[in-house]
Structure 1
Amino acid sequence: MIVRIMGEGQVELDQSELPALNELDAALESAIEADDEERFRRALNALLDSVRERGSELPADSLEPSDLVLPPADAHIDEVRAMLGDSGLIPE
């Protein structure tokens, strides 16, 4: 699976990583629902760090279609709120 982190590039991740990412996504969604900026920032960074650590960065010139698109680390809580689907940023 290919994950794009906006402003950074793409990471290839094994499908088996989805459950762990969904837990982090749920924490992010909870922080957004509570409108808790500090919790939001921690949760977003944890999600992005996990993707970076668990995946393999693709070359910058790679143009693979992305299965998931995640916001950049400096995204505003309202921007991420607008990106949320019915199941968060990462579908189950």
Structure 2
Amino acid sequence: MIVRIMGEGQLTLADSRLTELNQLDDELLAEMDNGDGPGFRATLQALLAKVRELGEPVPDDFLEPSDLILPSSDATLEQVQELLSDDGLIPGGA
């Protein structure tokens, strides 16, 4: 799977790793629902850090569409809400 972090680039991530990301995604959704700005910020940072840890950067000349698009680390709660699907940011969650 190709994951794009907005403003950073793309990484390849094994589909099997999505399960590891869903817990953070579920936490992020709960914090957004509760209006927990500091919690949202910390969990977004943790989610992006985990994607960077588990993923492999793709070459800059790689021209394939992203399967999953995540917000940048400085995205606001409102910006992230616009990216949400029924499952959250990561498919298979909530």
TM-score (norm 1): 0.96
Q: Which runs of 5+ in 2 are unaligned?
A: none
> Residues 78-89 of structure 1: matches in 2 within 5 Å?
78-89=78-89
TM superposition outliers: structure 1 runs of 4+ over 4 Å: none
Structure 1 residue 64: deviation in Å?
Answer: 1.6
CA RMSD in angstroms comes to 0.8
Structure 1 residue 16: deviation in Å?
Answer: 0.9
Match status 1:38 vs 2:38: yes
SS of the residue corresponding to residue 73 of structure 1 reads coil
> Residues 52-71 of structure 1: matches in 2 within 5 Å?
52-71=52-71
When structure 1 is superposed on structure 2, of 57-66 and 29-38 the one drifting more is 57-66
SS of the residue corresponding to residue 35 of structure 2 reads coil
**1:12-57 Cα distance to aligned partner (Å, 9 max, x none):** 0011101111111111111111111100001100110000000101
SS of the residue corresponding to residue 64 of structure 1 reads coil
Amino acid at match of 2:65: P
Amino acid at match of 1:39: G
Structure 1 residue 61: deviation in Å?
Answer: 2.2
Amino acid at match of 2:70: L
Amino acid at match of 2:29: E
Tell me the equivalent position of 2:24: 24
Identical aligned pairs, as a percentage?
52
